[in-house]
Amino acid sequence: MTAIETRRFDKPDDLLDMKECGGIAIVNMGTGATGMHAVFEPGWTWEKNEKPLLGNPDSCPMHHTGYCIAGTLVVRMLDTGASTRITPGDFFEIPPGHDAHVEGDNRVELILFAPPEHQH
């Protein structure tokens, strides 16, 4: 591929709508890479707001690579119980087997990336 491709989150290919709790806008690039813009409002939890949309797995089955723009997201690994706070400016990788919740009164805003081989 020699052309530059641009996509916009305000015109997503897919939208995971969590109503008043936020949502995830998904864009798919020609290479198969995926970009996601996630917004989670105060009170959002993976258990309550996203788990039912994924078919109720025990924990989030996805690997996430991303960047935090705003807010504080607390991510917990279910196998160890270890929690990590992700805050603005953090570039992160989260392995499968986690849940998460928004901490405090500010919305969380994340950009997530997935290379072509991690397509679901």
pLDDT digits over 60-86, tens only?
A: 998 999 999 999 999 999 999 999 999
| Poorest-pLDDT segment among 23-27, 80-84, 115-119 | 115-119
Kindly report, residue by residue over 46-57, the tens digit of the pLDDT.
999 988 888 889
Residue tagged 């009170």 (tokens): 43
Residue 60 forms beta bridges with which residues? Answer: 98
Residue ranges of domains in the chain: 14-118
Whole-angstrom CA distances from 114 to 10, 17, 48, 85 are 19, 19, 24, 21
Give the pTM: 0.89
Burial call 64-77: b when 16+ CB within 10 Å, e when fewer: bebebbebbbbbbb
Q: How far apart are the first and last CA of the chain?
A: 23
| Residue 119's pLDDT band (cuts 50, 70, 90) | very low
Confidence of residue 1 (pLDDT cuts 50, 70, 90): low
What is the CATH number that goes with domain 14-118?
2.60.120.10
pLDDT surpasses 80 at 118: no
Distance separating alpha carbons of residues 52 and 32, to the nearest angstrom: 26
In the predicted structure, residue 94 carries a pLDDT above the cut 80: yes
- Residue 81 identity (one-letter amino acid): G
